[in-house]
Amino acid sequence: MHRLMQGIMAHIIESKEIPIGLGPYSNAISINDFIFISGTLGFNRKKTTAGMQDGKPTLTPQIDQIFNTFKGIYKSLGTDAINLLKMNAYLSSWDQYNNLSSSLQSHLSKMPAISVNGHGLINNGFLAEIDCIGTTSNNIKVIKIPGFTHFANAPAAIQMGDYIFLSGFAGVDKNGKVVKKGDIQAQTKQALEWVKIALEQAGATPKDVVKNHTTIVDWRDFDQYNAIYAEFYGEPYPTRASIQGTLSDPDKLIEFDVIAIINQKKQYVDTAIRGQYQTNINRKNVHLDNRLTPGVAPHCAGIRTDDFISISGMVATDLDGELIGPGDIKAQTKAIMDGITYALETLGSTSDDIVKSIVSLVDWRHYEEFNKIYESYFTPPYPTRTAFQGGLAQYGLMIEIEVFAIPNAKKIGTYIIGA
């Protein structure tokens, strides 16, 4: 049912078990002990959206189709299932929240760490998009916080060896009740306290965090959130992306999605231009790159550990912090991909090592033009990818891209694509 090809640099499996993607991306990449799965939507090989009745979408058939695609990926890799470490679900409508929970539990006997955010999807007929990081390893530890209840009964975190994947944490108490409605700083402190507690359960600290993806509901809270965040982590900060979206409770203002790595040496890359939060230019293990734009938030540009690289979400601003290419998605995409390339180069890597990108588009009408520039930065096969609609911090920004990379990905990875 699938054809295995040996490329010059990459192992590629073309599978008739899975739909062809809607852009320049692989459906999945198996590398080292990891399997990265692209953001997956509920359509079949004929590009028919599941669960459409009288022009109205239904969630459960779409989730069923998503998991059918996952099964096709697993089959291509010669296995019936994998252990899921981390799942991100993007909902276009919060009235499907409870249905999503029950649907996921019907498909999964072991729940991964889960984050659920509200974002616009590529087509109005799609109700959910799901991406995953999984593993064929059985060296898995489930981490729970006593008394704390997560969405779909997911654990607080999943640990595989040195890698720790946290569920999304918002500013709520143990019972899920939002603390101090309308107070972004109180909710940020509470959410980060849960992050700290979950890390402690795995023998980690905030200094072990390599990646933080923040969903923020209102950009007017950005500076207040950053003040608490910067104090919590301190320099050198983890990589980060902050995207405007919605959360499961209208009173929730912020949520953090975190990855940590323990027992591995970390090398950082950051801008050489001082900023409000980049104040110490003599930070240990930090490589400064004067090609990288100045930071306006507490994050570094990139982190490399023994066998994993995380690059912060990048936007199209120049060395003076000014917007590049107003209204021009191609110019902004090029500026971002150049910045990602610079950060990877400074960490001894290239775009061929990228295994996952997360793309936030302000307007789906720019999707095709974005793809034309994006794909030019890669030698096929492409990385896995998740794309959704989200708001960005500065007026005029059209796109933000964050990536994960693994050294020598094209040489040691197996790329699964629909045929």
Q: What is the pLDDT of residues 205-222, one digit of tens each?
A: 999 999 999 999 999 999
Alpha helices in 285-356 (DSSP H): 329-346
How many structural domains does the chain have?
A: 1
Residue-wise pLDDT tens digits, 299-327 = 999 999 999 999 999 999 999 999 999 99
b/e per residue 157-182 (b: at least 16 CB within 10 A): bbbbebbbbbbbbbbbeeeeebbeee
Mean residue pLDDT across the chain: 94
Strands of 354-361's sheet in order across: 286-289, 267-271, 302-304, 309-314, 399-405, 354-361, 384-389
Contact status, residue 106 vs residue 98, Cβ threshold 8 Å: no
| Residue 9 reports pLDDT greater than 70 | no
Residue-wise pLDDT tens digits, 256-304 = 999 999 999 999 999 988 777 877 656 678 999 999 998 789 999 999 9
pTM value is 0.95
Write out the residue range of the structural domain in which residue 158 sits: 2-418
Q: Name the percent of the chain lying above pLDDT 90.
A: 90
**What are the structure tokens assigned to 225, written together?**
């959130």
3-state SS assignment for residue 337: helix
| Residue 4 reports pLDDT greater than 80 | no
Strand intervals (E) in 124-218: 128-135, 140-143, 157-160, 163-166, 169-170, 209-216
pLDDT at residue 184 in the model: 98
pLDDT at residue 1 in the model: 37
| Residue 3 reports pLDDT greater than 60 | no
pLDDT at residue 282 in the model: 63
Task: Please give the distance of CA 398 from its chain centroid, rounded to a whole number.
Answer: 18
User: Distance between CA 140 and CA 83 in Å, rounded?
Assistant: 8
Residue-wise pLDDT tens digits, 117-141 = 999 999 989 999 999 999 999 999 9
The torsion angle over the Cα atoms of residues 190, 195, 200 and 205, rounded to 10 degrees, is: -110
- Range in 49-53, 119-123, 386-390 the model is least confident about: 49-53
User: Distance between CA 256 and CA 273 in Å, rounded?
Assistant: 27
Burial of 386 (0-12, 13-18, 19+ CB in 10 A): buried
To which residue do tokens 């540009």 refer?
301
Contact status, residue 82 vs residue 140, Cβ threshold 8 Å: no
Element (H, E) at 286: strand 286-289
User: Distance between CA 221 and CA 224 in Å, rounded?
Assistant: 5
User: Distance between CA 182 and CA 220 in Å, rounded?
Assistant: 12
CA triplet 211, 375, 43: central angle to 5 degrees?
Answer: 80
What is the pLDDT averaged over residues 369-377? 98
3-state SS assignment for residue 378: coil
| Residue 27 reports pLDDT greater than 60 | yes
Task: Please give the distance of CA 285 from its chain centroid, rounded to a whole number.
Answer: 25
pLDDT at residue 6 in the model: 42
Element (H, E) at 106: helix 97-107
User: Distance between CA 222 and CA 305 in Å, rounded?
Assistant: 29
Residue-wise pLDDT tens digits, 160-186 = 999 999 999 999 999 999 999 999 999
pLDDT at residue 99 in the model: 97
The confidence band for 114, taking pLDDT boundaries of 50, 70 and 90, is: very high
User: Distance between CA 418 and CA 384 in Å, rounded?
Assistant: 12
User: Distance between CA 285 and CA 268 in Å, rounded?
Assistant: 6
What is the pLDDT averaged over residues 94-112? 96
| Residue 380 reports pLDDT greater than 80 | yes
pLDDT at residue 53 in the model: 82
User: Distance between CA 315 and CA 399 in Å, rounded?
Assistant: 7
User: Distance between CA 238 and CA 369 in Å, rounded?
Assistant: 31
